Structure 1
Amino acid sequence: MNEKDILKLVGARIRVLRKKRGLSQESLGEKGGFHFSYIGQIERGEKNVSLINLAKIATALEVNVAQLFTYVHEDSELTEADAVMKEIVMMLRESNQEKIRIAKNVVREILRGND
């Protein structure tokens, strides 16, 4: 993988996250303190964005920086099990700590039954 490929993958991931949140390039730029054209250049893999700016973009997208480097296949390429796990993770992300703890205990008990 060359440098340009990395820039394109990160840019594509930012675009996917931005669109999932219903944000335009302009609104993401405003939230992160950037001009919309800079966001477009990043998404197209034309800019080698700094870590500081990636952190600002992640904050504006309400994700952690690591999620900008998580390249996932389109949903149509996911196995059924992957799709279910993705759905569970999304539900957990929207839950509070107590519900997450309860879910963890339920899953532990279910899996314990498979031993």
Structure 2
Amino acid sequence: MSSDLIKLIGERIRTLRKEKEYTQEYLSEKSGIHVTYISDIERGERNISMETLEKVIIALEIRPVEVFRFEGIEGIEERANKQELIEALNSLLAGRKIEEVKLVLRLAKEVLGTYDKLK
């Protein structure tokens, strides 16, 4: 039976892989980890070593901290400080394509510009 942490890490790896639009097969090739092992990691059925985790992180081209961002942003607005909110935004945008990030930036500028005019 796997621990909650192993399951969370596996789910997070699956989410990050899908955000990159990688298949398990592609992540397997890129990381040098067998596809069955990738599948087991994502389902929380394998106790992933630090060495294997590092291979996955490198293959996904992410910062190590991204694997440990478990908390969704649902409800974070009610209980977070400014830095946590900024980190939540960063987490939302980290796996997105550059065009999507640019769109969000333009929208944020427009919303903030409108907000500033209303003050």
How would you bin the TM-score normalised by the shorter chain?
0.5 to 0.7
Q: Give CA deviations for 1:52-108 in whole Å, capped at 9, x if unaligned.
A: 1101100111112222111131x55554984896169838x989xxxxxxxxxxxxx
Q: Give CA deviations for 1:25-65 in whole Å, capped at 9, x if unaligned.
A: 11111110011111110001100011011011001111122
So what's the TM-score if we normalise by structure 1? 0.65
In 2, Cα distance between equivalents of 1:46 and 1:88: 25
Match for residue 20 of structure 2? 21
Match for residue 104 of structure 2? none
SS in 2 for 1:41: helix
Root-mean-square deviation over aligned CA pairs: 3.2
After the TM superposition, which residues 16-95 of structure 1 pair with which residues of structure 2 at under 5 Å, given as runs?
Answer: 16-73=15-72, 76-79=74-77, 82=85, 86=89, 90=93
In 2, Cα distance between equivalents of 1:15 and 1:29: 12
In 1, Cα distance between equivalents of 2:91 and 2:33: 33
How many residues are paired up? Answer: 91
Identify unmatched segments of 5+ residues in structure 2.
Answer: 99-119
Runs of 4+ deviating beyond 2 Å: 75-85, 87-91
- Percent of aligned positions that are identical: 37
So what's the TM-score if we normalise by structure 2? 0.63
Identify unmatched segments of 5+ residues in structure 1.
Answer: 96-115
| Per-residue deviation, 1:11 | 0.2
Contact 2:10-2:43 within 8 A present in 1 as well: yes
In 1, Cα distance between equivalents of 2:23 and 2:59: 12
| Structure number with higher relative contact order (C-alpha < 8 Å, ≥ 6 residues apart) | 2
